[in-house]
Amino acid sequence: MEKTIVNSLGAYPEWLYHYTSLESLALILQNRTIKFNSLQNVDDLEEAATEDMGEFGKYIYASCWTDSDRESIALWKLYTPDMHGIRLGLPPFPFRKHVYRAGQFFLSENITTYINLERLYAENRGSITLHQPDLVEIEYTDDPKRLFPHIRETSEEIVQKFLQAKTMEDAAGTNIGYSFPTLGKCKRTDWSFQKEWRYLIFISPTGLQEMYPSTFEKQQDQIKKIEDPETALPYDSYFLELDDDIVSQMKILTGPKMTEAEKIYLKSLLRDHGLLGNYSESQLRIR
């Protein structure tokens, strides 16, 4: 039996919207991908911070959207170049599905996932659990416990005992776990105007080829990387592929200050990709 771990589209908005530049739209259409950025590189400088493990949130990668179909002057200003960009709209989970069989890449069963496991394995830069990405509605709060969560589920002493053990028997009783209850899911109330939803992916800094087949030494190496604050990001940015059928539904709205020349280029771009019928213009009038 095949296990499907792509999302089943539960209580999500019918459409999500993303404000970006005209150049970024050209790349999205050309490459058929959506970009995910580490929380270390998003506009809110606090987002990667945790109570106990520094900037551990850097391993969370996000693609940020809003569920409001009403144009936002603030979002136009923040995320498009002087309001000359575009707002694209897509249904939730517009990503391409990948099917793998038991035995491929150490899988124990057939799966369907949004993660391109073949590419992830070949690049050998990080690992991702295959149920991702998650889609969450941002909670706006000023509670520091939610903004800066406690990550490590075990004590520092247990972690050190595990790392110093010579064998699995020596490491008995050192079950190590990390919890991400609110990482990437909460922002200060100052950001509530964004009405944000975001896709989230956790990428461990250990490549799949370094993890499988699993050994005690490989488990230790993985924990060492996770515990070391100097460990580099596995990816500067991560990209998920888009489903061509869903791309055909994409809505494109021009920025309120887009010039006629920019509109000509945008229409030509959309015509090349069979999307000219999905074009509309901003109703805002801003000098």
Q: What gap in Å lies between CA 277 and CA 166, rounded to an integer?
A: 64
**pLDDT computed for residue 83 by the predictor:** 97
Which residues, including other chains, have CB under 8 Å from residue 213's CB and lie 6 or more apart? 106
Helices then strands (H, E): number in the chain?
Answer: 9, 14
Cβ-Cβ contacts under 8 Å for 283 (sequence gap 6 or more): 71
What is the pLDDT at residue 85?
97
Instruction: Quote the tokens at residue 226.
Output: 């996770």
Domain boundaries along the sequence of the chain: 3-280
**pLDDT recorded at residue 7:** 60
Collect the ranges in the chain with pLDDT lower than 50. 1-5
| Residue 5 pLDDT | 46
Percent of the chain with pLDDT over 90: 84
Cα 242-243-249 angle, rounded to 5 deg: 100
